[in-house]
């Protein structure tokens, strides 16, 4: 099987990175990659000669069929189209959103590159490359929660979502999600999808409580070349 070369990832991390989806143990031409991201639809033992497994996670995609049922006041929820903010305003929330990210938890990447990656995610969400909308809640001039939304025809998909740790458990995350759902329905999106990690128990519980179900899951493994460890 041939590996799919990831140009953007390779340029950003300055490593030769590729990914491949495998459904069984089979020969893979590693082509001298520094990192091979292996995706498996189900769990089974898998190894690559000359590479070491450094990280494993299970990615979940939650989904919900939408209908216009929200009657609450969204006054506290702002959006960057009408209430502009710069990237620095959202960076700490972006890091909170990525606290279970494989780019942080796999120490081979390093926290500095993780932060740089999420900084770019915020910047590209604000300039509309990665997101159609950014909604946020603030208190005393500081962002305490935010969410980014992208549209794929009739499907809405959340990119980043987080509430500041000091304000979690107070309903702000639900207000943000309700606002996104309301926006999606008004803009003819029928479903909303949210990716997260199975290991993120708190997030999974929250999405299930809001009526989301698991659409699919995939096991993601990082195999680093021996001499790059």
pLDDT, one tens digit per residue, over 143-166 is: 999 999 999 999 999 999 999 999
Segment 110-136 mean pLDDT: 98
Is the pLDDT confidence value at 4 over 90? yes
Which residue pairs, CB below 8 angstroms and at least 24 apart, start in 148-151?
149/180, 149/183, 149/184, 151/184, 151/187, 151/189
pLDDT of residue 73: 67
Is the pLDDT confidence value at 8 over 70? yes
pLDDT of residue 87: 97
Is the pLDDT confidence value at 229 over 90? no
> What is the pairing mode between strands 51-65 and 213-225?
antiparallel
87 phi and psi, to 5 degrees? -65, -40
Residue 71 binned pLDDT confidence (cut-offs 50, 70, 90) = low
């Amino acid at each position: 099987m041939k590996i799919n070369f990831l140009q953007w990832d390779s340029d950003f991390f300055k490593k030769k990175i590729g990914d491949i989806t495998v459904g069984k143990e089979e020969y893979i031409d590693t082509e001298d990659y520094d990192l091979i991201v292996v995706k498996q639809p189900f769990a089974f033992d898998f190894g690559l000669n000359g590479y070491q497994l450094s990280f494993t996670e299970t990615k979940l995609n939650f989904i919900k069929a939408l209908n216009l049922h929200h009657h609450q006041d969204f006054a506290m929820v702002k959006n960057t189209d009408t209430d502009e903010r710069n990237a620095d305003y959202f960076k700490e929330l972006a890091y909170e959103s990525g606290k279970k990210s494989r780019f942080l938890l796999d120490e081979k990447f390093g926290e500095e590159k993780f932060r740089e990656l999420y900084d770019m995610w915020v910047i590209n969400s604000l300039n509309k490359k990665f997101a159609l909308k950014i909604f946020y809640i603030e208190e005393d001039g500081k962002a305490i929660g935010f969410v980014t939304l992208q549209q794929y025809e009739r499907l809405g998909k959340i990119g980043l979502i987080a509430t500041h740790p000091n304000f979690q458990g107070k309903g702000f995350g639900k207000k943000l999600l309700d606002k996104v759902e309301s926006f999606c329905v008004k803009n003819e999106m029928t479903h909303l999808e949210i990716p997260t990690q199975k290991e993120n128990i708190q997030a999974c519980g929250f999405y299930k409580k809001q009526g989301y179900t698991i659409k699919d899951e995939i096991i993601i493994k990082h195999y680093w070349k021996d001499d790059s460890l």
